Structure formats: C-alpha cells, structure tokens
A and B are shown apart, each in its own frame.
Chain A
Amino acid sequence: MEENCLLELRGIDKMFPGVMALNNVDFTLRKGEIHALMGENGAGKSTLIKILTGVYSMDAGTILVEGKNVHIGSPQDAQNNGISTVYQETTLCPNLTVAENMFIGREKSLLVKQKAYEKRAEEILESLQIPARARQQLGNCSLAVQQMVAIARAVDMQCKVLILDEPTSSLDDKEVNMLFKLMRDLKSRGVGIIFVTHFLEQVYEVSDRITVLRNGELVGEFLTEELPQVQLVAKMIGKELDELNNLSDTEERSAASGEVFYQAEGLSSSETLPFDFSIRKGEVNGFTGLLGSGRSESVRAIFGADKVGGGTVKIKGKNVKITKPVDAMKHGIGYLAEDRKRDGIIADLSVRENIIIAMQVMNGFFKPISRSESEAFADEYIKALNIKTASRETPVGALSGGNQQKVILARWLLTHPDYLILDEPTRGIDVGTKLEIQKLVLKLAEEDVSVTFISSEIEEMLRTCSRLIVMRDRHIVGELKGSDLNQAQVMKTIAGGES
C-alpha cells in the first residue's frame, strides 16, 4: 500500500437487471493527482462515479478513504467523507448570486449571513483566481465560470477528492485552459481529482494517470506519459485503430460536382445574421467555429427551427418557403439537434416510437404507421446501426448516450432524407460509435445524400467534409476546401488570421 493514497476502491461489483455494470473493479487515487477515468459509453465510468458519490449502492467491494473503510450510502455520506462532484451540466441555480450558490444548502441556521458569505466567497474566488464577483448573478457568468464556481463550492467544503464529470464538453479552448489552470492549482494543494472526459487531448494535457475501464471491467492503470494516445484508444475500444487511420487516408475526396440541392441567399433567423449557403447532392460540408460563433444557429435557420427572418431558399432550383421544421422535412431535410437530451430524444417513449416519429410526422396525422410496420422499421435500424438496447420497447432514456444518438440517426435515416444536418452527432459518445457515425456520413454521401456535419473536433470534420465554412462572432469568415483543409489553416481562420 502506498503512503499517499487518498481513495481506494477494491473489488467493486454492481449489477443492474441483466447487466453486470461493474465487475471486480479497483481504482486508486493519490494525493495531489489528476487521474483520468476513461472508457467507452457503457464501460462503467458513470456507474463507478455514482457509487462513489452515493447515488448507487454497490453490491460488493470496499471503499477506503485515507486508509479507513467507509460506507457511502448517500450523497451526504460522500460529502462527509470529503468527496465532491461537479457534473457535466452544472447543478447550480443561475438566478442566484455566485456567493449564494457557493453557500446554498450549507447554512447551519436559518439566518443567512449574507455579508459574511459574500466576503468568504470573494476570498475563495480570489485565491483560486476565478474571474467572477461574489455578488454577480451566476446566470450572467460564462459556462466555464459557472463550472469553476461549482468547483470552488466543492473546494470550500473541504473536499479531498474532486470528481469532474465531463467538465469541458461545453467549453471553448480558452475556457478549458482556465479550468485546467484551476485543476493544477487544486492539485498542488493536495486535492485528488478524478477527471472524466471524452477529449483525448485534454487527458494528455492535464492528467498524471489514466485508469481504463471496458465493459464494466478494469483494463488497467497507466502513467499518462507512458501510454501513447493510440494505445489508449486501443485499450478503450479493445481493438487496434487501423480503421480510423484508413478513414483519414481518404482525405483527397473530390468536392462533389452534382447539382446544387439546397441554396439559401440572405437567410436569417431570430438567432442569426443573414448568410448565404449552398450544398450539392452528395456533398459533405461543415460549419466550424468556436462555441457561440453561430454555427448551430445557422443550421437551425436552414431547418426552420427558429423564427425565420428573411432570405430566399431554393431546393433543386425551385423557390421554397421553410418557416418551421415540418416544411424542411417535407423537402427532404433531416436535422439531428446539438442537444440530444433537450431537442433529440423523447426519453419516456420506446426506442421503436423514437425511431418512427419523424416518419410518422411526414406520413401525416391521419395515417398512423401500424404496429407491425413500426416494429419492422425499428428492428431493421436497430440491426443496421447496431443499437444496443434490451428490446425495441425499452424507453430510449435508458440507453447510453451513443445508442441514443444512433436512435435519433435511425429516426432521420428512416425518412430517407436528401439532405441531413448533423449538429455535433459525436459529442459525448464513445470512440467506436464516433467512427461508425463518420463512416455512415461518408456512405450517405456516396448514395448522393447531402450532409452538413458539425463537430467540435476539427479532425473529425477534416476527415469527413470536403468543404468547411468557418464562422466567427456570428459571421461567416471563410470557406476552406481542397488543400486548405488542414488543421493549421482551420485554426488560423477561426482565430482570425489571414484566410
């Protein structure tokens, strides 16, 4: 046993009905260490974290905090043992001030000592160099700052173990760096940090050790510097990544030369400035830019998801009016939304119902798809996209993120769209599924379907798109194709150099 062990998990088992979610998993966290917990969706990361935080109870195993055997039966227990968690979506109250958020729920008495709290909050914010004021309303801070306030709250509660579950998934590069600075600072104070993320580069930038899980089992614990990135991916998905390499070799995709399918001039919505855009049959293009640059808003305007402002739209050369989603759908456009939980899945409905819903809308209110027909459709796509679900009647909310995304893809594929808009289809899902989705995009393009693909990971877009539209501050600032399609050039254009 090592001297500076902060947290040890030994032989953790967790059964869910029909699934062994965790099977004899060990995990060790040392003082002053940033430890990345890696694995595909369904590997058991979330389950492990939920056991640590008292959300789930384990079926077997022991948890030691600083060498002492502890029982964690509730989130309160976890907190008493110095284990704090900051989740993917911050769970603070945007309408309260920063100080109130840091102290909410911790008052021992009913009297709120506002002044004292504000003073204390100000001290903490300063010592952690978080760019926020105590009396500022939290909702007015950027997402990154909100996340940092959540961390500050945890730190002030004397936490020894800090769990960060996908903290960077909605931050831009600058904000990520701010967060990393804070993490390193905490590390130097002896806090042990468990870092869960899907971004491989970030793991290498900030972590000291990596523990990999696969299918509920421990693959191993590694020193970050001794584990090359390719091998990490191989360990996560359990196979070598030849396929990924093959994909990136096909970089010289010629720009599609088919007829123009969709063309917009001066299109605008309540969320965008007027812009021009067009896509050819069988073309894959993409919008890129930092978060908030207007890339999602632009595709939403194309689909009629927001209130349309003005502009002319032509589909196959004919003038059309698209003012609401159903108009776009009738013209053969499908749209996979950026926020899967809010705009994508209908959680309580079954996988089957989620798959057929767009097609049902196209068929019309008075022509319901029969039960047997819908079952056949669902089975077809569960098989074709390799959706992992207990049955087609399972509520889609019970599936892992990657499989939920596949269900939504199936929903749109079933409508046989001519033009498919995919906004962040690979966000928060595992490497294997990401690859499947990228392949699917290329296959669709071969079948003459036009695809607009948006991803925060530029490599992913370079691998799939033949044309990139670069946005900054709600303006289109460049269009890259051919030999310009490389990471350096994209970065330069986004950042605002010569393009």
Chain B
Amino acid sequence: MKERIKKVFKSSLGQLAIPLIAIALLIIFNLIRDPGFFVIGLTQNNDGNLVLQGNLISIINGASELAVLAMGMTLVTAACGGQDISVGAAAAIAGSVLVKVLKSGSGITGGRVLAAFLMACLVAMIFGSFNGTLVAIFKIQPMIATLILYTCGRSIAYWINGGATPTVSSPVITAIGSFIPGIPVPTPVLIVIAMTILFKLLFRFTSLELFTQSVGINGSAARLNGINTTFIKLLSFIILGVCVAVAGSIGVSRLGLINHETLLLDIEMDAILAVAIGGNSLGGGRFKLSGSIIGAYVIQMLTITLYAMKVSSTDVKAYKAIVIVILVVIGSPVFKEKFGKTVNRIRNNRNGLMEKGAEKA
C-alpha cells in the first residue's frame, strides 16, 4: 500500500510538488501574517445577489485569464518546444472583435453575445494559425514567429474599433465578467473549470496528448510513425487561439470596455511562467496541464499577497521576480539531483545508525 502511494506520488504528483508546495507556503505565510486573510464571506453585491467574497475568491477569480492562457500555452510549448509571446496582443484583438460585434446593432442580447464570442474565437484562431504556419511550416522559432503579432497586435486591435475604447453595458456582459444572478461563484472561475473539462475531454477522446508529446520529444521519430507533425504544431496554436479568445472575452466583460492598450498587458510572460512553475519543460515534450493551471494560481496568489502587504504596484514586479527565481531554481533538474543525493545520504546515515543501534541491542 505504502509502495503504491509512493508510486502515485512519484509519477503524477512529482511534477506538481513544487507548485503545490509554493501554494502551501504562500497560504501558511499569509495565515501567519494575517489569520483573517482567507476568510470567505457571503455578502450582497450591488445587483442584490448573494456572492462569495474574500481574498481567496479574488485570487482564484483574478487568475482566470492567466489560467486559461496557460492551458493553451502548455500545448504550444509541448508541441513546438517554444512559446507564443503574442497572446496578450492577440487577446486585445479578440476583445476588440467581441466589442465590435456587440456594438454592431442596438441592444445586446444573449444571442448577440454568443455570436460576438464565436467571431472573436474565429479571429483568434486565424491569428493562431498565422503563428502556427510560421512555426510549423516555415520552421521559424516560436518566439521569433510570434514576435510579429506581439509587435503589431495592439495596432490591429486599435484599428478594429477605429481607435476608440467603446464601453459595453449589458446585464449579460456583467454576468460573464462578475456573477450570474443566483450563483455565488464568480463566472470567470466557472469558465476556467469549463475550459479544464474541455481540455480533459479533448485528451480523453482524441490522441492529442500522446501525439503532442511525441512531436515535442522526438519530431523525427513521430513523423516516421505516421504522425503529421506540422498539423499537430498548427493545431496547438489554433487551440491556443481559442484560449486567447476566451481570456480576452473575460477581460472585456470584467471592465465592460475594450482598451486595446492595456487589456491583458504583459500576460504572455506570466502565462509562460505558469507553464514553467507547473514543472513543464519549456523545451517541449512531456507536459501536465494541471501543473500550468496551479502555476497560474501561484503567480496570482503571490501578486495579491504582495499587494496585501502594501507593496506598491511598481515594486511588486521586483518582489515577484525574487520568488520566481527561487521557484525555478528549485524546480531545475540540477537542483533536484543535488537535493535527491543529499536526502539519500541523510537517509543512509540514519539507516546506518539504526542498524548500529540494533546491533548494540
């Protein structure tokens, strides 16, 4: 039994150890700092709904866009051995398209919201396949390939709404950005859960996971086993496109407006970081989606903790960097090996002592 638990821990939890420990430490740290930090309360909001409130809720809620993007980023990383740095800019495009369609007629109905979202998805997928084509067919390094959209994405977003930052106000949009009446959990959190389930279903009912990992680990062997490596890489970018559209739509709904300059600004770096903190190799290959999701929450919890400690928003980035350096060093193979050796030595010493003790007895 013990062996079995060990095995499970080693195989699936091993990779998640670092992000889970990081979360645990952050929780403990916050509890010591302020025992009431994680108190969750049920309060009535402006619309008269009973909703959950508290720091924990705002952490989980605030990380939603990041978590969604991290999922797609994991897939791109695994298949292509590189990252997409244009997700923030692409989300601004998707958000602009969403608003454009929402504003194209009078009155915002549920049907129009759906149409707007599908349109945003389509556009994001097209930009995703642009990136994917550069990477999969022209074999350009992902970071260089996506640098193009990173550079011009927010300009394209600017054009879509003619340079304006239009606002959209509608109960449907508010519901997506904050709470659905009658449900105390923030809607973005529900969207993350839905996306996670969607990915799991995708892995369950297609060979996406196996093929993506094969392509990432050994593209040549994957090709000789009949896997269409170009298609798998392209697909990973298209799926990331969907994630971009979802994240962009959440961002727009939260604020009720599209600001092409600030929407999800700099989120690409956090998304890549979430993948790395989740124990996934940025060189591609084996991946764990749950790792990246937890990684996203680690980053958000860190940010909120720092804000709660009254660290000014300009300083937050520096403090964040310190914690992240520690996390990635601990997660590095070099550290793991050294650490493993030390643990073994201590264990052997202890066993040796115990044996000696037994002999004496």
Residues of A within 8 A of B (CB): 303, 305, 324-326, 329, 335, 337, 342-349, 353, 357-358, 360-368, 393, 411
In the assembled complex, the Cα of A109 lies from the Cα of B151 at a distance in Å of 43
Let me know if A348 and B225 touch, CB within 8 A: no
Let me know if B226 and A326 touch, CB within 8 A: yes
In the assembled complex, the Cα of A393 lies from the Cα of B12 at a distance in Å of 12
List, in ascending order, chain A residues with CB within 8 A of B217's CB: 346-349
Let me know if A342 and B221 touch, CB within 8 A: yes
Instruction: Say yes or no for B214: interface residue by CB 8 A criterion.
Output: yes
Let me know if B211 and A325 touch, CB within 8 A: no
List, in ascending order, chain B residues with CB within 8 A of A358's CB: 225-226
Let me know if A329 and B221 touch, CB within 8 A: no
Let me know if A365 and B214 touch, CB within 8 A: no
List, sorted by A's number, 26 A–B pairs whose CB atoms are closer than 8 Å. Answer: A324-B226, A325-B223, A325-B226, A326-B228, A329-B226, A337-B224, A342-B221, A343-B220, A343-B221, A346-B217, A348-B213, A348-B285, A348-B286, A353-B210, A353-B214, A358-B226, A360-B211, A361-B211, A361-B226, A362-B226, A365-B206, A365-B207, A366-B205, A367-B207, A368-B205, A368-B207
Q: How far is the CB of B213 from chain A (nearest CB, A)?
A: 6
In the complex, how many residues of chain B place their beta carbon closer than 8 angstroms to a beta carbon of chain A?
A: 23
Let me know if A368 and B226 touch, CB within 8 A: no
Instruction: Say yes or no for B59: interface residue by CB 8 A criterion.
Output: no
Given A325-B224, A335-B224: A349 and B213 interface contact (C-beta under 8 Å): yes
Given contacts A342-B221, A353-B213, A411-B225, 8 further A-B contacts (CB under 8 A): A325-B224, A345-B218, A349-B217, A353-B214, A357-B225, A361-B226, A363-B207, A364-B207
Q: Name B195-220 residues within 8 Å CB distance of A.
A: 204-208, 210-211, 213-214, 217-218, 220
* Minimal Cβ-Cβ distance residue in B for A353: B210
Instruction: Say yes or no for B222: interface residue by CB 8 A criterion.
Output: yes
Let me know if A342 and B220 touch, CB within 8 A: yes
- Ranked nearest first, the 10 interchain pairs of A and B with the lowest CB-CB distance are A326-B226, A361-B226, A368-B207, A325-B226, A346-B218, A329-B226, A348-B217, A346-B217, A358-B225, A346-B214
Which residue of A343, A363, A393, A411 has the most chain B CB atoms within 10 A of its CB atom? A343
Q: How far is the CB of B272 from chain A (nearest CB, A)?
A: 21
Given A326-B228, A357-B214: A346 and B222 interface contact (C-beta under 8 Å): yes
In the assembled complex, the Cα of A326 lies from the Cα of B222 at a distance in Å of 11
Mask, B37-76, CB within 8 Å of A = 1, is: 0000000000000000000000000000000000000000
List, in ascending order, chain A residues with CB within 8 A of B207's CB: 360-361, 363-368
List, in ascending order, chain B residues with CB within 8 A of A361's CB: 207, 211, 225-227
Q: Within the complex, which residue of B210, B221, B228 is in contact with A360, where a contact is CB–CB below 8 Å? A: B210
Which residue of A345, A349, A364, A411 has the most chain B CB atoms within 10 A of its CB atom? A349
Q: How far is the CB of B236 from chain A (nearest CB, A)?
A: 13
Q: How far is the CB of B51 from chain A (nearest CB, A)?
A: 40
Let me know if B208 and A365 touch, CB within 8 A: yes
Q: How far is the CB of A266 from chain B (nearest CB, A)?
A: 24
* Minimal Cβ-Cβ distance residue in B for A327: B226
Let me know if B221 and A345 touch, CB within 8 A: yes
Instruction: Say yes or no for B11: interface residue by CB 8 A criterion.
Output: yes
Mask, B301-333, CB within 8 Å of A = 1, is: 000000000000000000000000000000000
In the assembled complex, the Cα of A349 lies from the Cα of B227 at a distance in Å of 15
Given A349-B214, A353-B210: A368 and B221 interface contact (C-beta under 8 Å): no
Residues of B within 8 A of A (CB): 11, 204-208, 210-211, 213-214, 217-218, 220-228, 285-286
Which residue of A346, A347, A349, A365 has the most chain B CB atoms within 10 A of its CB atom? A346
Let me know if B226 and A344 touch, CB within 8 A: no
List, in ascending order, chain A residues with CB within 8 A of B204's CB: 368
Let me know if A366 and B206 touch, CB within 8 A: yes
List, in ascending order, chain B residues with CB within 8 A of A337's CB: 221, 224
Q: How far is the CB of B77 from chain A (nearest CB, A)?
A: 14
Q: Within the complex, which residue of A344, A365, A393 is in contact with B11, where a contact is CB–CB below 8 Å? A: A393
Q: How far is the CB of A470 from chain B (nearest CB, A)?
A: 26
In the assembled complex, the Cα of A346 lies from the Cα of B212 at a distance in Å of 12
In the assembled complex, the Cα of A110 lies from the Cα of B60 at a distance in Å of 53
List, in ascending order, chain B residues with CB within 8 A of A303's CB: 224
* Minimal Cβ-Cβ distance residue in A for B215: A346
List, in ascending order, chain A residues with CB within 8 A of B220's CB: 342-343
In the assembled complex, the Cα of A214 lies from the Cα of B20 at a distance in Å of 44
* Minimal Cβ-Cβ distance residue in B for A17: B344
In the assembled complex, the Cα of A343 lies from the Cα of B220 at a distance in Å of 5
* Minimal Cβ-Cβ distance residue in B for A335: B224
In the assembled complex, the Cα of A367 lies from the Cα of B204 at a distance in Å of 10
List, in ascending order, chain A residues with CB within 8 A of B225's CB: 325, 357-358, 361, 411
Q: How far is the CB of A268 from chain B (nearest CB, A)?
A: 19
Q: How far is the CB of B278 from chain A (nearest CB, A)?
A: 16
Q: How far is the CB of A349 from chain B (nearest CB, A)?
A: 6
Let me know if B210 and A357 touch, CB within 8 A: yes
In the assembled complex, the Cα of A326 lies from the Cα of B229 at a distance in Å of 12
In the assembled complex, the Cα of A329 lies from the Cα of B224 at a distance in Å of 10
In the assembled complex, the Cα of A357 lies from the Cα of B220 at a distance in Å of 14
Q: How far is the CB of B163 from chain A (nearest CB, A)?
A: 43
* Minimal Cβ-Cβ distance residue in A for B344: A17
* Minimal Cβ-Cβ distance residue in B for A371: B204
In the assembled complex, the Cα of A486 lies from the Cα of B19 at a distance in Å of 64
Q: How far is the CB of A269 from chain B (nearest CB, A)?
A: 14
* Minimal Cβ-Cβ distance residue in B for A356: B210
In the assembled complex, the Cα of A411 lies from the Cα of B222 at a distance in Å of 13
In the assembled complex, the Cα of A367 lies from the Cα of B222 at a distance in Å of 18
List, in ascending order, chain A residues with CB within 8 A of B223's CB: 305, 325
Q: How far is the CB of A333 from chain B (nearest CB, A)?
A: 10
List, in ascending order, chain B residues with CB within 8 A of A366's CB: 205-207
List, in ascending order, chain B residues with CB within 8 A of A357's CB: 210, 214, 225, 227
List, in ascending order, chain A residues with CB within 8 A of B11's CB: 393
Let me know if B210 and A368 touch, CB within 8 A: yes
In the assembled complex, the Cα of A362 lies from the Cα of B211 at a distance in Å of 12
In the assembled complex, the Cα of A324 lies from the Cα of B231 at a distance in Å of 14
In the assembled complex, the Cα of A353 lies from the Cα of B212 at a distance in Å of 12
List, in ascending order, chain A residues with CB within 8 A of B206's CB: 365-366, 368
List, in ascending order, chain B residues with CB within 8 A of A325's CB: 223-226
In the assembled complex, the Cα of A357 lies from the Cα of B211 at a distance in Å of 8
List, in ascending order, chain A residues with CB within 8 A of B214's CB: 346, 349, 353, 357
List, in ascending order, chain A residues with CB within 8 A of B213's CB: 346, 348-349, 353
Q: How far is the CB of A13 from chain B (nearest CB, A)?
A: 15
Q: How far is the CB of B15 from chain A (nearest CB, A)?
A: 12
